């Protein structure tokens, strides 16, 4: 006799599975879910202890001398730190992820726009990073074409990243960070020592002539470096909502963007100056650490891509109004497609072009979030997410006009710096909210 499956039980199981992966995507985080500063540090460093940071650092080493490249990396990291601390404090104080904060700032329906932007950008980063990982892995199928081998690796990696991201912060991101970040730090330091030896010593690195000197301006690369992690500076609330106090925000921000982003940029600079090529896998092989570096890039891919997919799924859930599980699956498919495209078109050039596009739109979101929370609402939201207005037209207007100004600055005026900062949207939102700001600060109350 064949056992019959109760449709109601099957439906109940599916609902339970979807609910288990939400990870407080649509509600305030309970205090019981808060985690230690160390755990949050490792998770946040998982974003920046990455192959994309090495790749950007390599590009600096291709265009600039050592000290100039170092200054570019440091300035962009400091700018990102300032934005990240402010957005991270909002998440820690309110117990809300980034998209729920945008729901309070932009309104329930208005927040779909910035949420979609955040989701798309995170999928882009995960896609390019997956491409970098696939490019350094060994060819296990010599009889097949290079493209077929890449496709195999991309599909396997995308499935693994998607599955781990689905598990959420405690079961997915935290454990991946604890294992991957320390391993990546040690192995890449070994690669940096090998690169210095390949170049003929530290003095040779300091005196090296960049392979593509003069082909990129300092301001442009500062803007690209800032744009590269403006996404990371916008979305700290996804992680800092798990923090127990404000001190954890400062500590983990420093770890993410100075100990993580800046140091990995520096290692990339050394590699770029030592080898003078734009392909990461070729560069690591040239200094004699190809196999070791392949392991490092493979290991680091897990925290970076898993974190990116996690943030993207939280944003996509708000933008599309579908469960986070479904958004994760869709994102994983898009990551695989983008990774394959990046590999076949040339990763470095495609990645730099992608960063340039980010700078038009991404800085607008934190500019509005910071202005709304700290100045319009004086550092505390009194309404809950469920009570958010449908559309805050002041925020939507600042976003739209800010985008038009950024496009004008870049395409007409040929600005290479200001368009990549949150300042324009910040000022626009305050101008549109002047009445609300005056009312809040004159009454001594939150509006």
* Helix or strand holding residue 386 (H, E): none
pLDDT band of 135, cuts 50, 70, 90: confident
Say what angle helices 37-48 and 290-320 make with each other, to 10 degrees: 100
> Region 82-109: what's the mean pLDDT?
95
**Between the CA of residue 39 and those of 258, 304, 310, 389, what are the distances in Å?**
17, 15, 16, 35
Residue 8 has pLDDT above 70, yes or no: no
Higher pLDDT residue, 169 or 1? Answer: 169
Residue 4 has pLDDT above 50, yes or no: yes
Residue 289 has pLDDT above 70, yes or no: no
Residues 6 or more apart from 165 whose CB is under 8 A from it? Answer: 172, 173, 305, 306, 307, 309, 310, 313, 328
CA–CA separation, 78 and 83 (whole Å) = 9
Outline where DSSP puts E strands in 179-295. Answer: none
Higher pLDDT residue, 40 or 291? Answer: 40
Residue 400 has pLDDT above 70, yes or no: yes
Tokens encoding 110: 């208005």
DSSP 256: I
Higher pLDDT residue, 188 or 258? Answer: 258
Say what angle helices 263-275 and 174-199 make with each other, to 10 degrees: 30
What's the whole-number average pLDDT of the chain?
83
Question: Nearest Cα to 218, choosing from 421, 68, 56?
Answer: 68
DSSP 418: G
Residues 362 and 294 sit within 8 Å (Cβ to Cβ):
no
Tokens encoding 241: 């909502």
pLDDT band of 1, cuts 50, 70, 90: very low
């Amino acid at each position: 006799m064949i056992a019959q499956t109760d449709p109601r039980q099957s439906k109940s199981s599916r609902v339970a599975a979807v609910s288990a992966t939400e990870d407080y995507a649509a509600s305030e985080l309970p205090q019981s879910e808060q985690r230690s500063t160390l755990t949050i540090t490792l998770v946040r460093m998982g974003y920046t202890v990455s192959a994309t940071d090495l790749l950007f650092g390599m590009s600096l080493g291709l265009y600039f001398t050592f000290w100039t490249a170092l200054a570019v990396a440091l300035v962009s990291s400091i700018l990102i730190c300032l934005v990240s601390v402010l957005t991270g404090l909002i998440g820690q104080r309110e117990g809300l992820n980034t998209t729920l904060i945008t729901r309070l700032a932009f309104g329930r329906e208005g927040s779909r726009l910035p949420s979609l932007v955040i989701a798309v950008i995170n999928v882009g980063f995960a896609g390019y990073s997956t491409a970098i990982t696939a490019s350094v892995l060994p060819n296990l199928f010599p009889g097949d074409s290079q493209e077929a081998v890449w496709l195999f690796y991309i599909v396997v990696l995308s499935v693994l990243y998607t599955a781990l991201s689905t598990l959420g912060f405690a079961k997915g991101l935290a454990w991946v960070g604890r294992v991957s970040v320390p391993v990546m730090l040690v192995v890449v330091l070994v690669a940096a020592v090998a690169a210095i030896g390949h170049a003929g010593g530290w003095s040779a690195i300091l005196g090296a002539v960049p392979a593509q000197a003069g082909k990129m301006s300092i301001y442009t690369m500062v803007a690209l470096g800032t744009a590269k992690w403006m996404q990371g500076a916008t979305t700290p609330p996804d992680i800092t909502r798990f923090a127990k106090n404000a001190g954890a925000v400062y500590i983990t921000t420093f770890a993410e963007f100075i100990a993580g982003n800046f140091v990995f940029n520096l290692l990339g600079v050394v590699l770029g100056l030592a080898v003078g090529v734009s392909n990461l896998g070729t560069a690591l092989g040239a200094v004699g650490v190809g196999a070791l570096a392949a392991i490092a890039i493979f290991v680091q891919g897990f925290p970076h891509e898993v974190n990116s997919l996690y943030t993207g799924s939280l944003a996509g859930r708000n933008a599309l109004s579908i469960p986070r599980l479904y958004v994760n699956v869709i994102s994983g498919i898009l990551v695989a497609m983008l990774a394959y495209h990046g590999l076949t078109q040339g990763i470095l050039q495609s990645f730099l072009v992608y960063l340039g596009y980010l700078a038009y739109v991404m800085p607008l979101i934190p500019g509005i979030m910071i202005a709304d929370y700290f100045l319009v609402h004086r550092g505390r939201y009194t309404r809950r997410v469920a009570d958010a207005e449908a559309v805050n037209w002041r925020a939507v207007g600042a976003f739209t006009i800010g985008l038009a100004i950024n496009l004008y600055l870049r395409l007409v005026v040929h600005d290479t710096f200001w368009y990549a900062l949150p300042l324009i949207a910040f000022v626009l939102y305050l101008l549109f909210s002047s009445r609300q700001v005056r009312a809040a600060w004159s009454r001594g109350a939150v509006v």
